[in-house]
Amino acid sequence: MFDTQNTNINEKNKINVVKRKKTIKNLGPISNAQHITPDTLQNNLFPLCILNNKVLSPLEAIVKYLRKNKKQSYKEISSLLSRNAKTLAVTYSKAIQKNSEETLVNKDTIYLDFSIFKNDLSILEAVCYFLRSLEKKYSQIARLIGRSQKTIWTVCKRAENKLQNSQNLQKISDTPLNKDTDYGDNNYISSSYTDNNALRLPLNILKDNSLSPLEAIVKYLRENKDLTYNQIGNLLSRKPKTLAATYSAARKKDPEKIILDEDTIYYIDFSIFSKTSDTRSANQSNSQSNNSLSILEAVCTSLKNSGLHNSQISRILGKSQKTVWTVCKRAEKKLASTISEDKMHQKEDNE
């Protein structure tokens, strides 16, 4: 009887292992990066041994290695790691304060491609998940980067959950912009902006905490899409003069052009910011396109109404879950107030 129970337990464990391997296989490797030796070392590779560091965080270790050892600029590092250049400058400053010496690289270390960071995972999550996709054991990964097996298991599990959610939300609002929509007298639709992505908002630009959501969007539309203030005004239901002042403030904060990583972008329709012709319409009150909402309120409400959880919205926008919850609640109150006013107006009209 005892042996039978042990046999059943072993069979269950085997089934769980097979299921887990299938899950990882279905999610696939993060990129085409491979397990590479020093003989093929190039600029787009990093030594895995630098993460085996008790003093620096994984991000600090990589940024310090690229800045101090490889003499790369923050812009170049930003492109490799898919991180904001200003954030990397702060990270490097903290790393230097902890350890100012050049990073030592073991001769027998293995190298990985920087393309594994083209996603929404943290540095450690991306590395651990990629090594697991190569069928490395938790114990092997733990030895390679100097972490406990429990930590590796937790990090891999978290990465799997994030990537699974990303697959489910591959492209938000992935339908093309409705060309029949009335955008007012200054219709901005032209042949140069009719592709599926050009007239939709890439949500990744809202992750830049140095700019407000409105500043980020206006800067993107002015510099990346060459739109006029009138055209941006039609898109966002804002006054052109206000947008001009917003752009000026954004330029002072960050003069660099916004860089998008096309592999990790979620898009949403600009119609969530548009006005309707009848401001008393009950449909408009219940819709996501009520222009009484701020940029962040309109985006969060739209994503929330599409069925996303606060944790998912948080990862997409680069905000905390608490911030997302607060913004959604504030938007709900505004919309509820608008609905009450509309009902009052309708009652007055009927009387």
pLDDT value of position 54: 87
pLDDT value of position 168: 52
How distant is the alpha carbon of residue 27 from its chain centre?
A: 18
Phi, then psi, of 269 in degrees rounded to 5: -70, 140
pLDDT at 89 over 70: yes
pTM of this prediction?
Answer: 0.48
How distant is the alpha carbon of residue 42 from its chain centre?
A: 28
Is residue 43 very low, low, confident or very high in pLDDT (cuts 50, 70, 90)?
low
Identify any residues that bridge with 111 across adjacent strands, giving them in sequence order.
36, 47
Burial label, 108 (beta-carbon count in 10 A; 0-12, 13-18, 19+): exposed
Q: Are residues 141 and 218 in the same domain?
A: no
pLDDT at 195 over 60: no
| Structural domain contains residue 153 | yes
Q: Report whether 120 contacts 138 (CB < 8 A).
A: no
Q: Which of 18-32, 200-214, 262-276 has the lowest mean pLDDT?
A: 18-32
| Structural domain contains residue 175 | no
pLDDT at 187 over 80: no
Mean pLDDT of the chain: 74
Each as own residue / partner, the long-range contacts of residues 186-189 (CB below 8 Å, 24 or more positions apart, any chain) are: 186/230, 186/231, 186/233, 186/234, 187/234, 188/227, 188/230, 188/231, 188/234, 188/235
pLDDT at 31 over 70: no
Is residue 27 very low, low, confident or very high in pLDDT (cuts 50, 70, 90)?
very low
What are 45-54's pLDDT values in tens digits?
899 999 998 8
pLDDT value of position 240: 92
Q: Are residues 199 and 343 in the same domain?
A: yes
How far apart, in Å, do the first and last CA atoms of the chain sit? 82
Q: Which of 168, 201, 222 is the last residue of a domain?
A: 168
| Structural domain contains residue 185 | no
Q: Report whether 82 contacts 117 (CB < 8 A).
A: yes
Q: Report whether 221 contacts 229 (CB < 8 A).
A: no
| Structural domain contains residue 8 | no
pLDDT value of position 166: 61
pLDDT value of position 121: 83
Q: Are residues 120 and 258 in the same domain?
A: no
Number of domains in the chain: 2
Report which DSSP code applies to 146: T
pLDDT value of position 94: 93
pLDDT at 75 over 80: yes
Amino acid identity of residue 3, one-letter, is D
pLDDT value of position 275: 56
Neighbours of 146 (CB within 10 A): 12
Q: Are residues 122 and 230 in the same domain?
A: no
Is residue 346 very low, low, confident or very high in pLDDT (cuts 50, 70, 90)?
low
Q: Are residues 307 and 212 in the same domain?
A: yes
pLDDT at 15 over 80: no
Q: Are residues 253 and 289 in the same domain?
A: yes
Q: What is the mean pLDDT of residues 211-230?
A: 92
Amino acid identity of residue 60, one-letter, is E
pLDDT value of position 349: 60
Q: Are residues 46 and 109 in the same domain?
A: yes
Is residue 342 very low, low, confident or very high in pLDDT (cuts 50, 70, 90)?
low
* CA atoms of 189 and 200, how far apart (whole Å): 12
Q: What angle do CA 292, 296, 297 make, to 5 degrees?
A: 45
pLDDT at 194 over 60: no
Q: Are residues 221 and 339 in the same domain?
A: yes
pLDDT at 87 over 70: yes
| Structural domain contains residue 177 | no
HSE-up (13 A, CA, CB side) for residue 17: 9
> Of 43, 29, 32, nearest to 128 (Cα)?
29
Name the percent of the chain in helix, strand, coil, to the closest 5. 60, 5, 35
Q: Are residues 243 and 107 in the same domain?
A: no
Q: What is the mean pLDDT of residues 75-97?
A: 89
Q: Report whether 123 contacts 82 (CB < 8 A).
A: no
What are 271-321's pLDDT values in tens digits?
888 754 333 333 443 443 445 789 999 999 888 888 788 888 888 888 888
| Structural domain contains residue 11 | no
Q: Are residues 100 and 223 in the same domain?
A: no
Each as own residue / partner, the long-range contacts of residues 126-129 (CB below 8 Å, 24 or more positions apart, any chain) are: 126/30, 126/159, 127/48, 127/51, 127/58, 128/152, 128/155, 128/156, 128/159, 129/30, 129/155, 129/156, 129/159, 129/160, 129/163
Q: Are residues 99 and 132 in the same domain?
A: yes
> Of 225, 146, 229, 119, nearest to 133 (Cα)?
119
Q: Which of 137, 168, 199 is the last residue of a domain?
A: 168
| Structural domain contains residue 209 | yes
What are 105-148's pLDDT values in tens digits?
888 888 998 888 877 788 999 999 999 998 899 999 999 999 99
Q: Are residues 200 and 148 in the same domain?
A: no
| Structural domain contains residue 15 | no
Q: Which domain holds residue 281?
A: 191-350
* CA atoms of 33 and 114, how far apart (whole Å): 8
Q: Which of 153, 168, 183 is the last residue of a domain?
A: 168
Identify any residues that bridge with 200 across adjacent strands, giving them in sequence order.
269
DSSP string, 175-213: SPP-TTS---SS----GGG-STTTTEEEGGGGG-TTS-H
pLDDT at 16 over 70: no
Q: What is the mean pLDDT of residues 236-256?
A: 91
Q: Report whether 163 contacts 23 (CB < 8 A).
A: no
Neighbours of 185 (CB within 10 A): 7
